[in-house]
Structure 1
Amino acid sequence: MERLKRKGSHTVSRLTFHIVWVTKYCYQILKGDIQVRCRELLMQICDAENVSILKGVISSDHIHMYIEYVPKQSVSYLVKQLKGRSSRKLQQEFRKLSDLYWGKHFWGVGYGVWSTGNITNELLMILYIVSVATS
C-alpha cells in the first residue's frame, strides 16, 4: 500500500486508525440493498469530512473501517458523523428499519478504535478475512 501523507502549511501527518461498530442488538440487517447503500453513505461522509478510506468491510451486523484523517479532526467526532448520518439516512430510505429499530437508534452504543501506526497490510488482511468469515 502506498503511504499517504497529509500536508499543511507547517505540518506533515499520516494518522490512521481501525474502527469497528455494530448494529443495535447485533441484528444481521446489513445485507443486499441496505449494505450497498450503507457503503455509499459511509464513502460520502468520509469525502465530506476529508477522510480517506484505506480499507473497509461491511459485514451483516458490523462495520470495519481503516481510515486516514487530518490532525484537526477527533476520532469521536468522525465516529459521530459516520454513525449519525448513516443511521438517519438509512432509516429514512428503508422504512422497515424504522419499524425494527424504534427510537431512531440503528447503531449500537459505542465503538472500538485502534491506532494503526505499525500495522502491516498482511495483518489487516487477516483481520478482515476473519471478520468476513465469522459474519
Structure 2
Amino acid sequence: MPNHVHMLVSIPPRISVSSFMGYLKGKSALMMFDKHANLKYKFGNRHFWAEGYYVSTVGLNEATIRKYIQD
C-alpha cells in the first residue's frame, strides 16, 4: 500500500486516541488543501484521509517502532 503514513506519537492520557486522530486528520487535511489548492478539485467533497486508522500500543518498544518507520 504505497499511499499511507506511519507516525510515532505520544498522546497524553487525558486525550482519547479517537479524538487525537480526528483532530490530526482534520487539521492536516485543511492544511494540505490550503497549501495545495488543486487537491480540493481532485478530492471534491470526499475526505482527504481514509475513514479508519490503525493503532498499536502493546508488544513493541519505541526503538523497534522508530526503526520500522525510518526503514
Q: Same fold (TM over 0.5)?
A: yes
Moved over 6 A (4+): none
Count of residue pairs the alignment pairs up: 69
CA distance change for structure 1 residues 72 and 117 in 2, over 3 Å: closer, same or farther? farther
Gaps of 5+ in 2: none
Gaps of 5+ in 1: 1-25, 27-59, 130-135
Determine whether 1:76 maps to 2:38.
no
Amino acid at match of 1:108: A
Displacement of 1:93 in angstroms is: 2.2
Q: What is the aligned-residue RMSD (CA, Å)? A: 2.0
Determine whether 1:64 maps to 2:12.
no
In the alignment, the residues of structure 2 paired with residue 118 and residue 77 of structure 1 have an alpha-carbon distance, to the nearest angstrom, of 23
Query: Highest Rg: 1 or 2?
Result: 1
Determine whether 1:88 maps to 2:22.
no
- TM-score normalized by structure 2? 0.80
More strand by share: 1
Identical aligned pairs, as a percentage?
28
Of 56, 61, 67, 1:114 maps to 56
In the alignment, the residues of structure 2 paired with residue 104 and residue 120 of structure 1 have an alpha-carbon distance, to the nearest angstrom, of 34
In the alignment, the residues of structure 2 paired with residue 112 and residue 105 of structure 1 have an alpha-carbon distance, to the nearest angstrom, of 17
- TM-score normalized by structure 1? 0.45
| Larger relative contact order, structure 1 or 2 (CA cutoff 8 Å, min sep 6) | 2
CA distance change for structure 1 residues 117 and 95 in 2, over 3 Å: closer, same or farther? same
